[in-house]
Amino acid sequence: MTDFIDLQPVSHVQGTVRLPGSKSISNRILLLSALSQGQVAIVDLLASDDTAVMLAALRSLGVQWTEEKTATGTIHHVTGVAGVLPNKSADLFMGNAGTAIRPLTAALAVIGGDYTLHGVPRMHERPIGDLVDALNAAGTNVEYTGNPGFPPLHIKQGKITTQRLSVRGDVSSQFLTALLMVAPLMAKDHAITIDVIGELISKPYIEITLNLIRRFGVKVGQNGWASFTIEPGQVYQSPGTIHVEGDASSASYFLAAGAIGGGPVRVEGVGNNSIQGDVRFAAALEQMGAHITMGDNWIEARANGPLKAIDADFNHIPDAAMTIAVAALYADRPSTLRNIASWRVKETDRIAAMATELRKVGATVEEGPDYIKVTPPATLAPATIDTYDDHRMAMCFSLVSLDGALRKGAATRINDPKCVNKTFPDYFTAFANIAK
């Protein structure tokens, strides 16, 4: 793929898209499989930069896995190490994969050894201090080798000395996810309780974590969203074969395309039975006037007249909410997305990046510490969109190529389109297949 891609104006979209596997589910399943007893067959694991980082890290740690190509997809066979890593030292490159570095840091800290974790420059700007503080307070030995509170990290041997941990819930749900995933390793002789300090953001992602932990045979006690308890003596057990759902965040781009560009557009791989909170994106589109239908394993969107403005709290679906910000360009009035402070600490500062790029196409944008307000222009301006090495920026802004009348015949240029390799390497091919 070149340094940019030009998307010609599209007057109508229609078709069916088979979604790639969920990144969030893929990396959780990989680590749980590695920590479990027995062999795990993972069907439809996402093939992307982020999962490649996790697979490479597991191999460096001595976890054995193989990939089997089948007529219908891929199966990854992982041999679990029952919580005892073969390699007691390793130097691990984690790219910009938050879903890999946070839980892996927790696992290595609890197991102990001599490990270093580092990534791309942006990873070294993404906070991990609340997780490290919680772990070290419990007796682990994690040191910063750069700026305190951020990777890179050096993990040494520690000793768990507590029965109760606490972690802030208002920066990233991945910190709580990491602690939940390693709690059974800590709860050998006594129960471990994890208390959440403050508001817990992105609760649907914790629901994914809890669902998967339970599928690997560990019971988690829950006091609402305030605390979680794991009783002693539980060990992750292989579920045998486990399937990775399609990525609900990636579904948002195609569903929004159907709502903006006519449709119907159907995504396959998520639906009524999904464990991912981002399927609630469909309800937000419905609030904006789109016509949504849903089955057990599919969702379909089509236009139902011009989109309506929305003013809503998007704390529960922060990744998919980015797509709403671009869909707001096609709404009848200004739209406001609230409670999205976590955008600031993602692959880039997504509030600042989104505001900058939306202004390029003519929108009036007001940004705050935890909200963004988008006033649509009468006509979308031709623009070259910068993507900030952020896969979701590239995919979101493909939508501004829709509705040829608004575009006045001008192409939309997306810089650095290869950043979609993080979660959806074939995204622009899939988008072209529904564009008429």
Strand pairing report for 412-415 and 384-385: parallel
**Burial (Cβ within 10 Å: 0-12, 13-18, ≥19) of residue 70:** exposed
Q: Say how far apart CA 256 and CA 316 lie, in whole Å.
A: 18
Positions marked active-site: 319
Which pTM does this prediction carry? Answer: 0.91
Q: Say how far apart CA 270 and CA 259 lie, in whole Å.
A: 18
Q: Return the bridge partners of 371, or none.
A: 338
CATH fold of 23-229, please? UDP-n-acetylglucosamine1-carboxyvinyl-transferase; Chain (3.65.10)
Q: Which two tokens stand for residue 382?
A: 């031709």
Helix (H, G, I), strand (E, B), or coil: what is residue 44? coil
Buried b (16+ CB within 10 A) or exposed e, 315-325: bbbbbbbbbbb
Please determine whether the domains at 4-20+245-434 and 23-229 fall in the same fold group of CATH: yes
Nearest of 60, 93, 59 to residue 78 by alpha carbon: 59
Annotated domain spans of the chain:
4-20+245-434, 23-229
Q: Say how far apart CA 391 and CA 427 lie, in whole Å.
A: 10
Cis preceding-peptide flag for 121 (omega within 30 of 0):
no
Instruction: Return phi, psi of residue 85, to 5°.
Output: -75, 135
Q: Which two tokens stand for residue 319?
A: 């990744």
Q: Which two tokens stand for residue 188?
A: 């050998």
Per the rule left: phi > 0, alpha: psi between -120 and 50, beta: everything else, 127 is: beta
| Residue-by-residue pLDDT tens, the chain, 436 positions | 569 999 999 999 999 999 999 999 999 999 999 999 999 999 999 999 999 999 999 999 999 999 999 998 899 999 999 999 999 999 999 999 999 999 999 999 999 999 999 999 999 999 999 999 999 999 999 999 999 999 999 999 999 999 999 999 999 999 999 999 999 999 999 999 999 999 999 999 999 999 999 999 999 999 999 999 999 999 999 999 999 999 999 999 999 999 999 999 999 999 999 999 999 999 999 999 999 999 999 999 999 999 999 999 999 999 999 999 999 999 999 999 999 999 999 999 999 999 999 999 999 999 999 999 999 999 999 899 999 999 999 999 999 999 865 656 678 999 999 999 999 999 999 999 999 7
- Per the CB < 8 A criterion, the answer to whether 385 and 414 are in contact is yes
Total residues found in the chain within this entry: 436
* Domain covering 4-20+245-434: architecture: Alpha-beta prism (3.65)
Nearest of 119, 160, 116 to residue 137 by alpha carbon: 160
- Per the CB < 8 A criterion, the answer to whether 119 and 54 are in contact is no
Q: Say how far apart CA 35 and CA 120 lie, in whole Å.
A: 26
CA dihedral 263, 264, 265, 271 (to 10 degrees): 140
**Which parts of 261-317 fold into alpha helices (H)?**
281-287
